[in-house]
Amino acid sequence: MELFGLDAPLVSFAIIAAVFLLFAGIELAVPFRQLSQPKPQRWVTNLVLFAIDTLAVRLLVPGAMLGAAVLAAERGWGLFHAMSVPPWLAVALTVLALDLALWVQHWATHRVPLLWRMHRVHHADRDFDVTTAARFHPFEIVLSMLYKMAVVIALGAPVLAVFLFEVLFTAATLFNHSNTRLPPAVERPVRLLLVTPDMHRIHHSARVPETNSNYGTLLPWWDRLLGTYVSEPQAGQEGLTIGLDRWQDDQPRRLGFSLRMPFLPGAQD
């Protein structure tokens, strides 16, 4: 699929790979928190899950979000094709609308037991670093993609806007899962515009009230507006326990266990 004469998926992959390597390098050089588990097995599990997720999307929904945007443009489907909106405004509104839609989806994965069974694979990681951003169960990723495609079609989202959103959203996910910390003087203003690692780390707390907060990925505004924003964890950033209380052992870093997690007993623990 081409955009401005370029292979859009290839360009997107190159940008995301560069962002991943950037934050992986920063974590290696100046990690904020010491990891509680050996890195090699965790990284293998998290990155293999990402590879399985990518393959599942390619096989089951090959067009993904960009394909949905192209289809909507060809058929004239969606809000922006039914009304006259300047292209720049359609792009800006699409980014805002998609980010809000994914905030709603994220909120739902914590509130709907069946969705939580899948999403807890992400939260079971007992450490918090750039590979945590890649740690999702393939069932969740496929369902998430179908939801995002439906939103793109309903909006009639421009292809360029979808491309920009995917790149920005994925880069933000890598950034706010990274084992880094901004200086306090930088953290405060940046957190007004973007979700930071300190803000999102709270969401990975083992304390349920903190797990059920800070759902944003790109923009921090939805949590502030909708009453789910927590500014600091009870135990402080250094004392925060990452993961789920039920699995504070070495099981989550195992690939087979991570793939079985949605089928294990207990929907909301």
DSSP per residue, 213-263: S---SS-SHHHHHHT---SS-TTHHHHPPBS-GGG-SSGGGSHHHHHHGGG
What is the per-residue pLDDT for 9?
77
- Flag whether 251 is in a domain: yes
The CA–CA distances, whole Å, from 53 to 140, 163, 207, 229 equal 9, 19, 28, 29
Is the separation of the CB atoms in 128 and 23 below 8 Å?
Answer: no
Reported as a single tens digit per residue, the pLDDT across 124-157 is 999 999 999 999 999 999 999 999 999 999 999 9
What is the per-residue pLDDT for 203?
98
Which tokens sit at 78? 């969606």
- Flag whether 179 is in a domain: yes
Is the separation of the CB atoms in 98 and 151 below 8 Å?
Answer: yes
- Flag whether 268 is in a domain: no
Beta bridge partners of 205: 242
Q: Determine the 3-state secondary structure of 193 from DSSP.
A: coil
Report the predicted TM-score, pTM, of the whole model to 2 decimal places.
0.94
What is the per-residue pLDDT for 10?
82
Is the separation of the CB atoms in 64 and 12 below 8 Å?
Answer: no
Query: Domain range for residue 42?
Result: 2-263
Reported as a single tens digit per residue, the pLDDT across 44-80 is 999 999 999 999 999 999 889 999 999 999 999 999 9
- Flag whether 84 is in a domain: yes
39 Cα distance to chain centroid: 21
- Flag whether 127 is in a domain: yes
Q: How many CB atoms lie within 10 A of CB 80?
A: 22
How many domains would you assign to the chain? 1
- Flag whether 36 is in a domain: yes
What is the per-residue pLDDT for 267?
44
Q: Give pLDDT < 50 ranges for the chain.
A: 267-269
What is the per-residue pLDDT for 117?
96
- Flag whether 223 is in a domain: yes
- Flag whether 67 is in a domain: yes
